[in-house]
Amino acid sequence: MKTPLKNSFALHRGVVAVLCAATLMSACVVQPVYRPPPPPPRVYYPPPPPPAYSPAVQVEVRATEPPPPLPDYEQPPCPQDGYLWTPGYWHWTGSDYYWVPGTWVQPPQVGFLWTPGYWGFVGGVYGWHVGYWGPHVGFYGGVNYGYGYMGVGFAGGRWAGNSFAYNTSVVNVNTTVIHNTYNQTVVNNVTVNKVSYNGGSGGVAAMPTPQERAVAQEQHVPPTPMQQQHVQEAIRNPALAAKANGGHPSIAATPRPAAFNAPGVVGARGATIPPPHPAGTAGAGQPNGAHYSPNGAAHPPGQNAPVPNGKPAGAPKAPPKKAPPKREPEHEHDR
């Protein structure tokens, strides 16, 4: 009878073990696995609008005051076939503006055109954007420099193969010397007010066209060495300072770069022509001793300015004529 009892006891122990295991399992808390929430859907934010136009060309000089108005002057005739007109402008030296005369320049290569520099007001200062050579004319601030540069593009001529054709309705060309010309009337819709800068108070309100923006990204050639010498000659001439000439320079345009004393130099309307200097001496801005006539024309060294009677000033006077000798009487009755 011992066997059934043992079996009952074993069964009881097994039940107790199962109940204990169930109790322990019921006391365990299963921690859930953390899964981060999915990222929010992407939202497209458009880029902020671009700031004021910032061209790709170099800003060479900055000034805190605006440049004077452009002076009024006549364009000298083109001196040689293939030369292109580059308009004059005001250059800042740090203390004053100096006028860089307009001049005819030989381009660095066939097919290139000149994009003039311009002053632009950005960030509280006036910055000078340097001009450049290239196959197309770019943005030059909308400034009306005249003689083909009326704010947009150039109407003074065009390349025809390896030759430049001049529009005689716009630029000054002697057709007896230069024969590659044409005559096309240009309608100027720009107000002529002689404003010499873009932006700011009183400046030209102009923005580049899509074509001009594309031109700004092209490969360009900087001003030629003769153009750079032209600028250096201008800033060494005290008569070209705005404070000295009141915005009316006596040398407003030249037939060639750095030829400030050559025949054909043109003064601005209202300019005071400097007095002539003695032969062989040079005045300020006259390294070769050139002389100026009252009408503003320059004369080579050693020559005097013409005077109304056609004789040069300072010409030697003829010696005075001597009186004839007194005749002695030959006869007694003549005494």
Residue 255 near residue 76, CB atoms below 8 Å: yes
Token reading at 141: 């601030």
How confident is the prediction for the chain on average, in pLDDT?
78
For residue 200, pLDDT beyond 60: yes
Residue 79 contacts residue 253 (beta carbons within 8 Å): no
| Predicted pLDDT at 134 | 97
Would you place residue 318 in the very low, low, confident or very high pLDDT band (cuts 50, 70, 90)? very low
pLDDT bucket at 313, cuts 50 / 70 / 90 = very low
Residue 207 has pLDDT above 60, yes or no: yes
pLDDT(263) > 80: yes
DSSP per-residue codes, 189-236:
-S------EESSTTSB-----HHHHHHHTS--BPPPHHHHHHHHHHHT
Is the pLDDT at 300 greater than 80? The verdict is no
Task: Give the contacts of 231 (CB within 8 A, at least 6 positions apart).
Answer: 91, 100, 223
pLDDT score at 31: 58
Question: Which pTM value belongs to this model?
Answer: 0.67
pLDDT of 16 strictly over 60: no
pLDDT of residue 149: 97
List the beta bridge partners of residue 127.
62, 120
Which of 3-12, 37-46, 265-274 is the most confident on average?
Answer: 265-274
Amino acid identity of residue 96, one-letter, is D
* Interval 147-164 mean pLDDT: 96
Band of residue 101 on the pLDDT scale cut at 50, 70, 90 = very high
- For residue 229, pLDDT over 90 is answered with yes
Is the pLDDT assigned to residue 56 strictly greater than 60?
no
d(CA 273, CA 291) in angstroms, rounded, equals: 11
With contact defined as beta carbons under 8 Å apart, do 67 and 92 qualify?
yes
Angle at 145 between CA 209 and CA 213, to 5 degrees: 20
Enumerate residues 6+ apart whose C-beta is below 8 A from 57: 129, 130, 132, 138, 216, 220
pLDDT score recorded for residue 187? 77
